[in-house]
Structure 1
Protein backbone atom coordinates (compact mmCIF):
# COMPACT_ATOMS: atom_id res chain seq x y z
CA UNK A 1 0.00 0.00 0.00
CA UNK A 2 1.35 3.42 -0.96
CA UNK A 3 2.14 5.77 1.91
CA UNK A 4 0.06 8.95 1.92
CA UNK A 5 2.05 12.17 1.75
CA UNK A 6 1.49 15.83 2.61
CA UNK A 7 0.93 18.47 -0.02
CA UNK A 8 1.42 22.24 0.29
CA UNK A 9 0.46 24.82 -2.32
CA UNK A 10 1.43 28.45 -1.72
CA UNK A 11 0.55 30.96 -4.42
CA UNK A 12 -1.46 30.18 -7.55
CA UNK A 13 -1.98 26.62 -8.76
CA UNK A 14 -3.96 23.40 -8.57
CA UNK A 15 -3.91 20.00 -6.86
CA UNK A 16 -5.05 16.77 -8.46
CA UNK A 17 -7.69 14.69 -6.71
CA UNK A 18 -6.84 11.49 -4.86
CA UNK A 19 -5.62 10.46 -1.43
CA UNK A 20 -3.26 12.54 0.74
CA UNK A 21 -2.29 12.84 4.39
CA UNK A 22 -2.40 16.59 5.14
CA UNK A 23 -3.25 19.34 2.63
CA UNK A 24 -2.52 23.05 2.98
CA UNK A 25 -3.40 25.44 0.17
CA UNK A 26 -2.71 29.16 0.56
CA UNK A 27 -3.36 31.83 -2.07
CA UNK A 28 -5.47 31.08 -5.15
CA UNK A 29 -5.88 27.35 -5.65
CA UNK A 30 -8.10 24.66 -7.15
CA UNK A 31 -8.53 21.00 -6.27
CA UNK A 32 -9.43 19.31 -9.53
CA UNK A 33 -11.40 16.28 -8.37
CA UNK A 34 -12.61 14.31 -5.32
CA UNK A 35 -10.07 14.33 -2.51
CA UNK A 36 -9.51 12.23 0.62
CA UNK A 37 -7.15 13.28 3.42
CA UNK A 38 -6.62 13.48 7.16
CA UNK A 39 -6.70 17.27 7.45
CA UNK A 40 -7.20 20.07 4.97
CA UNK A 41 -6.45 23.79 5.40
CA UNK A 42 -7.59 26.22 2.72
CA UNK A 43 -6.68 29.92 2.99
CA UNK A 44 -7.37 32.62 0.41
CA UNK A 45 -9.46 31.93 -2.69
CA UNK A 46 -10.03 28.21 -3.17
CA UNK A 47 -12.23 25.93 -5.25
CA UNK A 48 -12.89 22.20 -5.17
CA UNK A 49 -14.33 20.54 -8.26
CA UNK A 50 -15.62 17.50 -6.39
CA UNK A 51 -16.00 16.20 -2.84
CA UNK A 52 -13.82 16.50 0.27
CA UNK A 53 -13.61 13.54 2.65
CA UNK A 54 -11.38 14.17 5.67
CA UNK A 55 -10.88 13.98 9.44
CA UNK A 56 -11.04 17.76 9.90
CA UNK A 57 -11.16 20.87 7.72
CA UNK A 58 -10.29 24.55 8.22
CA UNK A 59 -11.42 26.95 5.49
CA UNK A 60 -10.75 30.69 5.50
CA UNK A 61 -11.42 33.24 2.78
CA UNK A 62 -13.53 32.69 -0.32
CA UNK A 63 -14.39 29.05 -0.99
CA UNK A 64 -16.48 27.23 -3.58
CA UNK A 65 -17.12 23.47 -3.48
CA UNK A 66 -18.93 21.76 -6.35
CA UNK A 67 -19.62 18.68 -4.21
CA UNK A 68 -19.87 17.89 -0.49
CA UNK A 69 -17.61 18.20 2.56
CA UNK A 70 -17.62 15.22 4.92
CA UNK A 71 -15.42 15.23 8.04
CA UNK A 72 -15.16 12.75 10.90
CA UNK A 73 -14.31 15.50 13.38
CA UNK A 74 -14.40 19.32 13.07
CA UNK A 75 -15.16 21.66 10.17
CA UNK A 76 -14.30 25.35 10.62
CA UNK A 77 -15.37 27.87 8.00
CA UNK A 78 -14.48 31.56 8.16
CA UNK A 79 -15.32 33.92 5.29
CA UNK A 80 -17.61 33.36 2.32
CA UNK A 81 -18.32 29.78 1.26
CA UNK A 82 -20.64 28.20 -1.27
CA UNK A 83 -21.29 24.44 -1.16
CA UNK A 84 -23.25 22.86 -4.00
CA UNK A 85 -24.21 19.73 -2.04
CA UNK A 86 -23.84 18.84 1.68
CA UNK A 87 -21.69 19.55 4.76
CA UNK A 88 -21.32 16.87 7.42
CA UNK A 89 -19.07 16.87 10.49
CA UNK A 90 -19.10 15.97 14.16
CA UNK A 91 -18.77 19.68 14.91
CA UNK A 92 -19.36 22.48 12.40
CA UNK A 93 -18.37 26.09 13.21
CA UNK A 94 -19.10 28.87 10.73
CA UNK A 95 -18.23 32.58 10.97
CA UNK A 96 -19.18 34.59 7.90
CA UNK A 97 -21.45 34.06 4.93
CA UNK A 98 -22.55 30.61 3.84
CA UNK A 99 -24.65 29.06 1.09
CA UNK A 100 -25.38 25.32 1.17
CA UNK A 101 -27.69 23.85 -1.47
CA UNK A 102 -28.15 20.58 0.45
CA UNK A 103 -27.99 19.48 4.10
CA UNK A 104 -25.70 20.87 6.81
CA UNK A 105 -25.47 18.27 9.58
CA UNK A 106 -23.43 17.68 12.73
CA UNK A 107 -23.66 16.87 16.42
CA UNK A 108 -22.83 20.50 17.27
CA UNK A 109 -23.46 23.31 14.80
CA UNK A 110 -22.66 26.96 15.51
CA UNK A 111 -23.14 29.65 12.88
CA UNK A 112 -22.28 33.34 13.33
CA UNK A 113 -23.56 34.74 10.07
CA UNK A 114 -23.01 37.94 8.13
CA UNK A 115 -25.14 39.18 5.22
CA UNK A 116 -27.67 37.00 3.43
CA UNK A 117 -27.15 33.27 4.00
CA UNK A 118 -29.08 30.33 2.59
CA UNK A 119 -28.89 26.71 3.81
CA UNK A 120 -31.53 24.33 2.47
CA UNK A 121 -31.66 22.01 5.51
CA UNK A 122 -29.92 21.94 8.90
CA UNK A 123 -29.87 18.93 11.22
CA UNK A 124 -28.00 18.16 14.45
CA UNK A 125 -28.13 17.70 18.20
CA UNK A 126 -27.17 21.27 19.22
CA UNK A 127 -27.80 24.04 16.70
CA UNK A 128 -26.93 27.68 17.45
CA UNK A 129 -27.50 30.30 14.73
CA UNK A 130 -26.71 33.91 15.62
CA UNK A 131 -26.09 37.16 13.77
CA UNK A 132 -22.52 38.42 13.84
CA UNK A 133 -22.64 41.45 16.14
CA UNK A 134 -19.76 43.28 14.46
CA UNK A 135 -21.77 43.57 11.24
CA UNK A 136 -23.85 46.67 12.08
CA UNK A 137 -22.55 48.74 9.12
CA UNK A 138 -22.83 45.81 6.70
CA UNK A 139 -26.33 45.11 7.96
CA UNK A 140 -27.47 48.57 6.84
CA UNK A 141 -26.24 47.89 3.30
CA UNK A 142 -27.21 44.21 3.03
CA UNK A 143 -29.66 42.84 5.61
CA UNK A 144 -28.29 40.05 7.78
CA UNK A 145 -30.47 36.97 7.45
CA UNK A 146 -30.23 33.19 7.39
CA UNK A 147 -32.85 31.41 5.27
CA UNK A 148 -33.60 27.69 5.56
CA UNK A 149 -36.38 25.29 4.60
CA UNK A 150 -36.03 23.13 7.73
CA UNK A 151 -34.01 23.09 10.96
CA UNK A 152 -34.17 19.97 13.14
CA UNK A 153 -32.28 19.19 16.35
CA UNK A 154 -32.45 18.59 20.09
CA UNK A 155 -31.43 22.05 21.31
CA UNK A 156 -32.05 24.90 18.86
CA UNK A 157 -31.27 28.62 19.28
CA UNK A 158 -32.09 30.90 16.35
CA UNK A 159 -31.62 34.61 15.68
CA UNK A 160 -32.60 36.60 12.59
CA UNK A 161 -33.57 33.39 10.80
CA UNK A 162 -36.35 32.73 8.27
CA UNK A 163 -37.41 29.08 8.25
CA UNK A 164 -40.37 27.05 7.02
CA UNK A 165 -40.33 24.43 9.79
CA UNK A 166 -38.33 24.05 13.01
CA UNK A 167 -38.39 20.77 14.97
CA UNK A 168 -36.67 20.33 18.32
CA UNK A 169 -36.83 19.28 21.96
CA UNK A 170 -35.84 22.68 23.39
CA UNK A 171 -36.30 25.65 21.06
CA UNK A 172 -35.30 29.29 21.64
CA UNK A 173 -36.32 31.87 19.05
CA UNK A 174 -34.46 35.16 19.53
CA UNK A 175 -35.09 38.45 17.76
CA UNK A 176 -36.38 39.09 14.23
CA UNK A 177 -37.06 35.49 13.18
CA UNK A 178 -39.86 34.43 10.83
CA UNK A 179 -40.94 30.81 11.30
CA UNK A 180 -43.93 29.20 9.64
CA UNK A 181 -44.21 26.23 12.04
CA UNK A 182 -42.43 25.06 15.19
CA UNK A 183 -42.77 21.53 16.56
CA UNK A 184 -41.21 21.07 20.01
CA UNK A 185 -41.11 18.43 22.76
CA UNK A 186 -39.99 20.03 26.05
CA UNK A 187 -39.48 23.81 26.20
CA UNK A 188 -39.96 26.78 23.91
CA UNK A 189 -39.03 30.46 24.26
CA UNK A 190 -39.96 33.06 21.64
CA UNK A 191 -38.79 36.68 21.54
CA UNK A 192 -41.69 39.10 21.03
CA UNK A 193 -39.88 40.61 18.03
CA UNK A 194 -40.15 37.33 16.12
CA UNK A 195 -43.10 36.01 14.15
CA UNK A 196 -44.18 32.36 14.39
CA UNK A 197 -47.34 31.30 12.53
CA UNK A 198 -47.89 27.89 14.18
CA UNK A 199 -46.60 26.21 17.36
CA UNK A 200 -47.23 22.52 18.08
CA UNK A 201 -46.14 20.59 21.17
CA UNK A 202 -45.46 16.94 20.26
Structure 2
Protein backbone atom coordinates (compact mmCIF):
# COMPACT_ATOMS: atom_id res chain seq x y z
CA UNK A 1 0.00 0.00 0.00
CA UNK A 2 1.37 3.42 -0.99
CA UNK A 3 0.28 6.91 0.00
CA UNK A 4 -1.39 7.31 -3.39
CA UNK A 5 -3.68 4.39 -2.62
CA UNK A 6 -5.11 5.93 0.57
CA UNK A 7 -8.60 7.39 0.11
CA UNK A 8 -9.06 9.01 3.51
CA UNK A 9 -10.84 7.66 6.58
CA UNK A 10 -13.86 5.43 6.94
CA UNK A 11 -15.92 6.19 10.05
CA UNK A 12 -19.19 4.56 11.10
CA UNK A 13 -20.85 5.98 14.21
CA UNK A 14 -24.05 4.52 15.59
CA UNK A 15 -25.36 2.09 12.97
CA UNK A 16 -24.44 1.87 9.31
CA UNK A 17 -23.08 -0.12 6.39
CA UNK A 18 -20.68 0.58 3.56
CA UNK A 19 -18.58 -1.04 0.85
CA UNK A 20 -14.95 -2.03 1.33
CA UNK A 21 -11.90 -0.29 -0.08
CA UNK A 22 -8.52 1.21 0.76
CA UNK A 23 -8.46 3.70 3.63
CA UNK A 24 -6.13 5.36 6.10
CA UNK A 25 -8.12 4.81 9.32
CA UNK A 26 -11.23 2.67 9.69
CA UNK A 27 -13.27 3.32 12.84
CA UNK A 28 -16.54 1.68 13.77
CA UNK A 29 -18.23 3.05 16.88
CA UNK A 30 -21.48 1.21 17.47
CA UNK A 31 -22.75 -1.29 14.91
CA UNK A 32 -21.32 -1.44 11.41
CA UNK A 33 -21.23 -3.74 8.38
CA UNK A 34 -18.62 -3.61 5.61
CA UNK A 35 -19.41 -5.51 2.42
CA UNK A 36 -16.05 -6.23 0.82
CA UNK A 37 -12.32 -6.27 1.48
CA UNK A 38 -10.66 -3.63 3.65
CA UNK A 39 -7.07 -2.39 3.46
CA UNK A 40 -5.99 0.29 5.93
CA UNK A 41 -3.34 1.67 8.23
CA UNK A 42 -5.53 1.13 11.30
CA UNK A 43 -8.76 -0.81 11.67
CA UNK A 44 -10.54 -0.12 14.95
CA UNK A 45 -13.95 -1.35 16.02
CA UNK A 46 -15.77 -0.44 19.23
CA UNK A 47 -19.06 -2.25 19.66
CA UNK A 48 -20.20 -4.73 17.03
CA UNK A 49 -18.90 -5.04 13.48
CA UNK A 50 -19.12 -7.42 10.52
CA UNK A 51 -16.76 -7.44 7.55
CA UNK A 52 -17.84 -9.53 4.56
CA UNK A 53 -14.36 -9.95 3.16
CA UNK A 54 -10.66 -9.83 4.02
CA UNK A 55 -9.00 -7.31 6.33
CA UNK A 56 -5.41 -6.18 5.79
CA UNK A 57 -4.16 -3.50 8.15
CA UNK A 58 -1.02 -2.47 9.95
CA UNK A 59 -2.93 -2.33 13.26
CA UNK A 60 -6.26 -3.96 14.11
CA UNK A 61 -7.97 -3.20 17.42
CA UNK A 62 -11.16 -4.93 18.49
CA UNK A 63 -13.07 -3.70 21.54
CA UNK A 64 -16.34 -5.59 21.65
CA UNK A 65 -17.42 -8.08 19.00
CA UNK A 66 -15.98 -8.35 15.48
CA UNK A 67 -16.94 -10.82 12.76
CA UNK A 68 -14.58 -11.03 9.76
CA UNK A 69 -15.64 -13.54 7.15
CA UNK A 70 -12.36 -13.68 5.23
CA UNK A 71 -8.64 -13.65 6.03
CA UNK A 72 -6.84 -11.25 8.38
CA UNK A 73 -3.34 -9.89 7.85
CA UNK A 74 -1.79 -7.41 10.30
CA UNK A 75 1.39 -6.41 12.04
CA UNK A 76 -0.48 -5.99 15.30
CA UNK A 77 -3.85 -7.49 16.27
CA UNK A 78 -5.33 -6.60 19.67
CA UNK A 79 -8.62 -8.15 20.76
CA UNK A 80 -10.43 -7.15 23.94
CA UNK A 81 -13.71 -8.97 23.67
CA UNK A 82 -14.66 -11.41 20.95
CA UNK A 83 -13.52 -12.00 17.38
CA UNK A 84 -14.85 -14.53 14.88
CA UNK A 85 -12.63 -14.88 11.80
CA UNK A 86 -13.64 -17.20 8.99
CA UNK A 87 -10.28 -17.61 7.23
CA UNK A 88 -6.57 -17.51 8.03
CA UNK A 89 -4.94 -15.07 10.46
CA UNK A 90 -1.35 -13.95 9.80
CA UNK A 91 0.09 -11.40 12.25
CA UNK A 92 3.39 -10.27 13.64
CA UNK A 93 1.90 -9.77 17.13
CA UNK A 94 -1.40 -10.93 18.63
CA UNK A 95 -2.71 -9.89 22.04
CA UNK A 96 -6.03 -11.47 22.95
CA UNK A 97 -8.05 -10.94 26.10
CA UNK A 98 -11.39 -12.61 25.62
CA UNK A 99 -12.55 -15.10 23.02
CA UNK A 100 -11.58 -15.80 19.42
CA UNK A 101 -12.60 -18.37 16.82
CA UNK A 102 -10.46 -18.80 13.69
CA UNK A 103 -11.70 -20.86 10.76
CA UNK A 104 -8.27 -21.40 9.17
CA UNK A 105 -4.62 -21.22 10.29
CA UNK A 106 -3.16 -18.87 12.90
CA UNK A 107 0.44 -17.73 12.33
CA UNK A 108 2.53 -15.02 13.99
CA UNK A 109 5.80 -14.07 15.63
CA UNK A 110 4.40 -13.39 19.11
CA UNK A 111 1.05 -14.75 20.26
CA UNK A 112 -0.01 -13.61 23.75
CA UNK A 113 -3.41 -15.00 24.59
CA UNK A 114 -5.55 -14.87 27.71
CA UNK A 115 -8.98 -16.38 27.40
CA UNK A 116 -10.55 -18.84 25.00
CA UNK A 117 -9.20 -19.71 21.55
CA UNK A 118 -10.49 -22.06 18.85
CA UNK A 119 -8.42 -22.69 15.71
CA UNK A 120 -9.84 -25.01 13.06
CA UNK A 121 -6.47 -25.79 11.46
CA UNK A 122 -2.84 -25.23 12.59
CA UNK A 123 -1.20 -22.64 14.85
CA UNK A 124 2.46 -21.60 14.32
CA UNK A 125 4.54 -18.90 16.03
CA UNK A 126 7.98 -17.96 17.26
CA UNK A 127 6.60 -17.48 20.80
CA UNK A 128 3.28 -18.83 22.09
CA UNK A 129 2.27 -17.50 25.54
CA UNK A 130 -1.08 -18.75 26.70
CA UNK A 131 -3.26 -18.45 29.79
CA UNK A 132 -6.70 -19.90 29.35
CA UNK A 133 -8.38 -22.72 27.44
CA UNK A 134 -8.03 -23.60 23.78
CA UNK A 135 -9.02 -26.03 21.05
CA UNK A 136 -6.59 -26.32 18.13
CA UNK A 137 -7.76 -28.94 15.64
CA UNK A 138 -4.37 -29.31 13.96
CA UNK A 139 -0.80 -28.77 15.20
CA UNK A 140 0.71 -26.17 17.54
CA UNK A 141 4.29 -25.36 16.54
CA UNK A 142 6.47 -22.65 18.14
CA UNK A 143 10.01 -22.05 19.28
CA UNK A 144 8.87 -21.21 22.82
CA UNK A 145 5.58 -22.55 24.18
CA UNK A 146 4.40 -21.48 27.64
CA UNK A 147 0.92 -22.66 28.56
CA UNK A 148 -0.80 -21.85 31.85
CA UNK A 149 -3.85 -24.07 32.10
CA UNK A 150 -6.95 -22.07 32.89
CA UNK A 151 -9.50 -24.57 31.62
CA UNK A 152 -9.55 -27.54 29.24
CA UNK A 153 -7.00 -27.41 26.39
CA UNK A 154 -6.87 -29.74 23.40
CA UNK A 155 -4.58 -29.97 20.37
CA UNK A 156 -3.58 -32.83 18.09
CA UNK A 157 0.21 -32.31 18.15
CA UNK A 158 2.70 -29.93 19.79
CA UNK A 159 6.19 -29.23 18.46
CA UNK A 160 8.73 -26.74 19.76
CA UNK A 161 12.11 -26.06 21.28
CA UNK A 162 11.09 -25.12 24.84
CA UNK A 163 7.69 -26.38 26.01
CA UNK A 164 6.19 -25.66 29.42
CA UNK A 165 2.68 -26.61 30.57
CA UNK A 166 1.69 -25.63 34.12
CA UNK A 167 -1.33 -25.22 36.32
CA UNK A 168 -0.39 -22.76 39.06
CA UNK A 169 -1.76 -20.02 41.28
CA UNK A 170 -4.66 -19.49 43.66
CA UNK A 171 -6.67 -17.78 40.93
CA UNK A 172 -6.51 -20.91 38.79
CA UNK A 173 -7.60 -23.11 41.69
CA UNK A 174 -10.59 -20.88 42.45
CA UNK A 175 -11.44 -20.79 38.76
CA UNK A 176 -11.43 -24.59 38.60
CA UNK A 177 -13.61 -24.96 41.71
CA UNK A 178 -16.20 -22.49 40.45
CA UNK A 179 -16.43 -24.05 36.99
CA UNK A 180 -16.44 -27.64 38.27
CA UNK A 181 -19.58 -26.82 40.27
CA UNK A 182 -21.49 -25.62 37.20
CA UNK A 183 -19.84 -27.33 34.19
CA UNK A 184 -19.68 -31.16 34.29
CA UNK A 185 -16.33 -32.54 33.12
CA UNK A 186 -14.57 -29.18 33.37
CA UNK A 187 -10.89 -29.61 34.17
CA UNK A 188 -7.71 -27.57 33.80
CA UNK A 189 -5.93 -30.16 31.66
CA UNK A 190 -4.11 -30.44 28.33
CA UNK A 191 -5.11 -33.31 26.03
CA UNK A 192 -2.73 -34.02 23.12
CA UNK A 193 -1.65 -36.98 21.03
CA UNK A 194 2.06 -36.16 20.57
CA UNK A 195 4.49 -33.65 22.10
CA UNK A 196 7.97 -33.24 20.63
CA UNK A 197 10.63 -30.71 21.68
CA UNK A 198 14.08 -30.08 23.12
CA UNK A 199 13.24 -29.07 26.71
CA UNK A 200 9.84 -30.20 27.98
CA UNK A 201 8.12 -29.68 31.34
CA UNK A 202 4.53 -30.89 31.76
CA UNK A 203 1.82 -30.71 34.39
CA UNK A 204 -1.76 -32.04 34.17
CA UNK A 205 -1.24 -33.34 30.65
CA UNK A 206 -2.72 -36.40 28.97
CA UNK A 207 -0.60 -37.54 26.01
CA UNK A 208 0.12 -40.67 24.00
CA UNK A 209 3.77 -39.87 23.20
CA UNK A 210 6.20 -37.30 24.63
CA UNK A 211 9.52 -37.15 22.78
CA UNK A 212 12.49 -34.84 23.45
CA UNK A 213 16.03 -34.25 24.65
CA UNK A 214 15.27 -33.26 28.25
CA UNK A 215 11.89 -34.19 29.70
CA UNK A 216 10.43 -33.49 33.15
CA UNK A 217 6.98 -34.87 33.98
CA UNK A 218 5.23 -33.02 36.81
CA UNK A 219 2.00 -33.60 38.75
CA UNK A 220 -1.27 -34.75 37.25
CA UNK A 221 0.17 -36.22 34.04
CA UNK A 222 -1.02 -39.35 32.25
CA UNK A 223 1.54 -40.29 29.57
CA UNK A 224 1.56 -43.54 27.59
CA UNK A 225 5.17 -43.39 26.35
CA UNK A 226 8.16 -41.11 26.88
CA UNK A 227 11.15 -41.11 24.52
CA UNK A 228 14.13 -39.08 25.71
CA UNK A 229 17.70 -38.45 24.58
CA UNK A 230 19.61 -36.79 27.45
CA UNK A 231 17.42 -36.59 30.57
CA UNK A 232 14.12 -37.90 31.90
CA UNK A 233 12.55 -37.33 35.31
CA UNK A 234 9.07 -37.78 36.71
CA UNK A 235 7.74 -36.90 40.14
CA UNK A 236 6.27 -39.55 42.39
CA UNK A 237 2.63 -40.27 41.71
CA UNK A 238 2.47 -39.15 38.09
CA UNK A 239 1.57 -41.80 35.48
CA UNK A 240 4.04 -42.78 32.76
CA UNK A 241 3.28 -46.24 31.39
CA UNK A 242 6.64 -46.72 29.68
CA UNK A 243 9.77 -44.77 28.78
CA UNK A 244 12.84 -45.39 26.66
CA UNK A 245 16.12 -43.67 25.84
CA UNK A 246 16.74 -42.96 22.17
Same-fold status (TM-score > 0.5): yes
8 A Cα contact 1:114 1:132, kept in partner = no
Secondary structure (helix, strand or coil) at the match of 1:115 reads strand
Q: What is the CA distance between 1:9 and its match in structure 2?
A: 0.7
Q: Do the aligned partners of 2:163 and 2:197 also contact (CA within 8 Å) in 1?
A: yes
Per the alignment, residue 103 of structure 1 pairs with 139
Give secondary structure in 2 for the equivalent of 1:5. Answer: strand
Tell me which moved more, 118-127 or 139-148. 139-148
Following superposition, the deviation at residue 135 of structure 1 comes to: 2.1
Does the 8 A contact of 1:98 with 1:113 survive in 2?
A: no
Q: Which deviates the most, 1-10 or 156-165?
A: 1-10
Deviations 1:144-185 (A, max 9, x none): 211000110000000010000001100000001000000000
TM-score (structure 1 length as normaliser): 0.95
Question: Aligned to 1:139, what secondary structure does the other structure show?
Answer: helix
TM-score (norm 2): 0.78
1:96–1:114 contact (8 Å) kept in structure 2: yes
**Equivalent-residue separation in structure 2 for 1:131 and 1:158 (angstroms):** 9
Identify which of 144, 150, 167 aligns with 1:131. 167
Q: Deviations over 1:2-32 (max 9, x none)?
A: 4552111111112341421111111011122
Structure 1 segments of 4+ aligned residues over 6 angstroms from their partners: none
Match of 1:60?
97
Matched, 1:120 2:143: no
The answer for unaligned runs of 5 or more in structure 2 is: 4-39, 181-185
2:227 corresponding residue in structure 1: 183
Alignment of 1:148-159 (within 5 A): 148-159=192-203
- Residue 85 of structure 1, aligned match among 104, 121, 124: 121
Unaligned segments of structure 1, at least 5 residues: none
* Stretch deviating more after TM superposition (172-181 or 8-17): 8-17
Task: Report how many aligned residue pairs link the two structures.
Answer: 201
Partner of 1:193: 237
RCO (CA 8 Å, sep 6+): is it higher in 1 or 2?
A: 1
C-alpha separation in 1, matches of 2:80 and 2:175: 23
Counterpart of 2:68?
31
- Report the CA distance between 1:186 and its aligned residue: 0.4
User: 2:239 and 2:115 mapped to 1: Cα distance?
Assistant: 29
Deviations 1:89-121 (A, max 9, x none): 100000011111111111000000122211111
SS in 2 for 1:176: coil
Larger CA Rg, structure 1 vs 2:
2
